[in-house]
């Protein structure tokens, strides 16, 4: 999904609105394909006195499992897509700038990269998920069991 930036970079227009739905269902993350619904991208690319920036938000949910209790969950995320865009990297040796080659920006690829950078390494159904009993496998959020007292989940988090 390339966006032509020639008119914007040249100053002929000041803004390009962004309103897209991207299908990332074929994209793998952590061994699964969690993007089962479209990623919504809204925002704009604009030229403010020669400074070209993209400012957008990607909104989506993912189908994943809780890393402690293995419940299926569908957390929602909003990821900011904010960068300066330049046609050549002469003086800007800054990671926040993106080099736009041939006046074209692959906004779909940029969105996917920013999402991957922003996602947490772990998903939890809730902050204080108690997880599963290591002895009997009971979901300790739903029931207690008669096994010996489990390790405090805050300590268990250090070991899983």
- Residues binding Zn ion (CB under 5 A): 66, 68-69, 125, 129, 133, 135-136, 138, 145, 147
What's the min distance (Å) between Cβ of 7 and Zn ion? 49
Nearest to 133 by CA among 118, 120, 143: 143
What's the min distance (Å) between Cβ of 125 and Zn ion? 3
Residue 136, Cβ density class (10 Å: 0-12 exposed, 13-18 middle, ≥19 buried):
exposed
Nearer to Zn ion by C-beta: 64 or 85? 64
What's the min distance (Å) between Cβ of 35 and Zn ion? 21
Nearer to Zn ion by C-beta: 66 or 98? 66
Nearer to Zn ion by C-beta: 16 or 69? 69
Nearer to Zn ion by C-beta: 43 or 131? 131
What's the min distance (Å) between Cβ of 72 and Zn ion? 10
């Amino acid at each position: 999904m390339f966006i032509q930036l020639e008119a914007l970079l040249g100053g002929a227009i000041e803004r390009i609105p962004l309103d897209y739905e991207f299908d990332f269902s074929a994209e793998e993350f952590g061994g699964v394909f969690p993007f089962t619904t479209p990623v919504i991208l809204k925002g704009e690319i604009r030229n403010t006195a020669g400074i070209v920036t993209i400012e957008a938000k990607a909104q989506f949910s993912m189908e994943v499992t809780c890393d402690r209790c293995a419940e299926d969950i569908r957390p929602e995320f909003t990821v900011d897509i904010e960068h300066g865009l330049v046609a050549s990297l002469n003086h800007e040796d800054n990671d926040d700038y993106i080099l736009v080659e041939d006046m074209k920006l692959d906004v779909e690829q940029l969105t996917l990269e920013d999402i991957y950078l922003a996602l947490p390494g772990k998903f939890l159904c809730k902050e204080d998920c108690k997880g599963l009993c290591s002895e009997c496998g009971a979901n300790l959020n739903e029931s207690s069991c008669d096994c010996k007292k489990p390790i405090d989940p805050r300590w268990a988090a250090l070991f899983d």
